[in-house]
Amino acid sequence: MTKGIHWLLGLLGVGALCGAYGYGWERHQLEVVSLPVSLPDWPQALKGVRMVHFSDTHLGPYWGIEELRRVVDLINREKPDLICFTGDLVDKSTRLLSAAVPVLRALQAPLGKFAVLGNHDWRFGQQAVIHQALLDAEFQVLNNRHVRLPLIGHLATPELGQKYVSGLMQAGERGMPVYTNRGLGTTILPVRFLCRPEVTVLTLV
């Protein structure tokens, strides 16, 4: 057996191990990321407000209602004041929406629950159905509206995806905080590698 064949077999073996790790372990290892956030010129009365940010559930064959229920239970245990969901509720179908609504409705936040639609939510012309499902789950859906703390799910656009990969960053001359969440579900392939699913807890300081 030549040296080249040995290298090829070794690479195939490493690839198989990485795939097995990403499929069988990492995509199930939910991480809670807790961070303080300072917002310029915000009232002192908001100091200590806890916001939970979650994103990219991609409800479908790889991430379903049981996974969503576990995330909702985890979020409620964090006792957030405010909850933000930043899109891609579904992956390729709205089949699980009716079952998802009562689960999402169980999320508790005294200052409200807010959501935006993601690219997958628009992809198949079902954005009105998804919008209504979020309303039924007692979310306020932001459409052509904005807030001062941008919270983003994973970015599909190359330019922004390279600039705001993940985590907390500063944008603009005033250093406005921007947070990019790694999301919860998967699309195309049920694999995560060096990118654990995430729920973020942001505390205003």
151: domain CATH number is: 3.60.21
Is the confidence at residue 160, as pLDDT, over 50?
A: no
> Which of 40-49, 110-119, 142-151 comes out lowest in average pLDDT?
142-151
169 φ, ψ (degrees, to nearest 5): -135, 170
pLDDT tens digit sequence for 87-130? 999 998 999 999 999 999 999 999 999 999 999 999 888 999 99
Q: Which domain holds residue 99?
A: 3-204
Q: Buried b / exposed e across 68-104, counting CB within 10 Å, b at 16+? A: bbebbeebeeeebbbbbbbbbbbbeebebbeebbebb
pLDDT at 165: 55
Domain count, the chain: 1
What is the enclosing helix (H) or strand (E) of 149?
none
With contact defined as beta carbons under 8 Å apart, do 182 and 196 qualify?
yes
> Which of 103-107, 133-137, 147-151 comes out lowest in average pLDDT?
147-151
d(CA 190, CA 23) in angstroms, rounded, equals 6
pLDDT at 133: 98
pLDDT at 152: 55
d(CA 171, CA 173) in angstroms, rounded, equals 7
